[in-house]
Amino acid sequence: MAPKLEQYRIFCEVAKCRSFSRAARDLYMTQPAVSQAIMNLENELGIRLFTRTSKGVTLTNDGHLLFEHVNSALNLIHQGENKLLESRNLKVGEMKVGVGDTISKHFMLPYLEVFRSQFPNIKLNIINRTTTELCMLVKSGEIDIAVCNFPIKDDALETRECAEIHDIFVCGDKYVEDFREPAGLNVIAGMPLILLERKSNSRLYVEKYLMSQGIRVTPEIELGSHDLLLEFARFNFGIACVVEEFSREYLESSRVFRIRLTQEIPPRSIGFCYLRSVPLSPAAQKLVEVVSGEN
């Protein structure tokens, strides 16, 4: 059986003190207990570690060789414990945050700036993926926390809402005259639609709601980013479904125009997603507090 770590600690202390009695005093142990630990270690290793003299003890050649490695190992363990403490106190460390491009640009950036200013020694590793992909990365332990489009239904994941968002339809100036009055969703479905790719959580949410109203849609154009939805609508390629909160710059500058509906799509949320079975790291917990206004 491999010698215990405590025996190595006692061995190193005796080697440094060159005395069983002084080592016992520094370790708050009895001298017989120290002597027994060294004897057990020598028996387990099958070597003699110390030469006993009238003035104390000195390391044998084998003892010197072992001390060089064990003392370095114990120092590394001590450094690791200190680094762990520093990490818990947010003095050093790394946090892997998963977030989609749109949420990152239009929601998270100001909060990440605040977090970095408060905890400059925490390295932020930002992973950009879709909500579905981020959930898989959280469950595999590859990222600490994710900011996703809700709803998310997965028993392995804990979710926490951060903000409410609204899905709306927008158009360019070519279509404005067609929508002077509020339009029904069935009318929207008959227009050339511009939607996100099918795998996106936002697209799935909108399609599920439309289907609950008996409306099926077949987009004319499918795109991979929210910003492209706005640009294609701006240049009159069709009617785009976008998030109102992430489109304010385009709406306020009249680059695109919101289409009023007779029946609005119910709001949904964005928020944090993390493993239910594993406590959040101190850094991740602080990020949640920053975004939630608890900091």
Domain identity same for 206 and 61: no
Query: What pLDDT does residue 236 have?
Result: 98
Percent of the chain with pLDDT over 90: 80
Domain identity same for 214 and 226: yes
Domain identity same for 171 and 260: yes
* pLDDT single digits (tens) 49-101: 999 888 889 999 999 999 988 988 888 888 778 767 767 778 888 899 999 99
pTM for this entry: 0.73
Whether the pLDDT of residue 32 is over 70: the answer is yes
Task: Indicate the pLDDT class of residue 1, thresholds 50, 70 and 90.
Answer: very low
Which domain does 158 fall in, by range?
Answer: 93-164+270-292
Domain identity same for 147 and 128: yes
Whether the pLDDT of residue 159 is over 80: the answer is yes
Region 251-266: mean pLDDT is 97
Which of 54, 88, 122 marks a domain boundary?
Answer: 88
- Rounded to the nearest angstrom, the gap between the alpha carbon of residue 141 and the centroid of all alpha carbons in its chain is 9
Between 47 and 76, the more confident residue is 47
Domain identity same for 98 and 160: yes
Radius of gyration of the chain (CA): 31
Domain identity same for 13 and 151: no
Domain identity same for 59 and 142: no
Q: Give dist(CA 188, CA 160) in Å, integer.
A: 32
Q: Could you tell me the CATH number of the domain that includes residue 100?
A: 3.40.190.10
Domain identity same for 173 and 261: yes
Which of 88, 105, 120 marks a domain boundary?
Answer: 88
**Nearest to 134, CA basis, from 284, 274, 285:** 274
Task: Indicate the pLDDT class of residue 295, thresholds 50, 70 and 90.
Answer: low
Which of 88, 110, 138 marks a domain boundary?
Answer: 88
Query: What pLDDT does residue 184 have?
Result: 96
Domain identity same for 171 and 261: yes
Q: How many domains does the chain have?
A: 3
Whether the pLDDT of residue 263 is over 60: the answer is yes
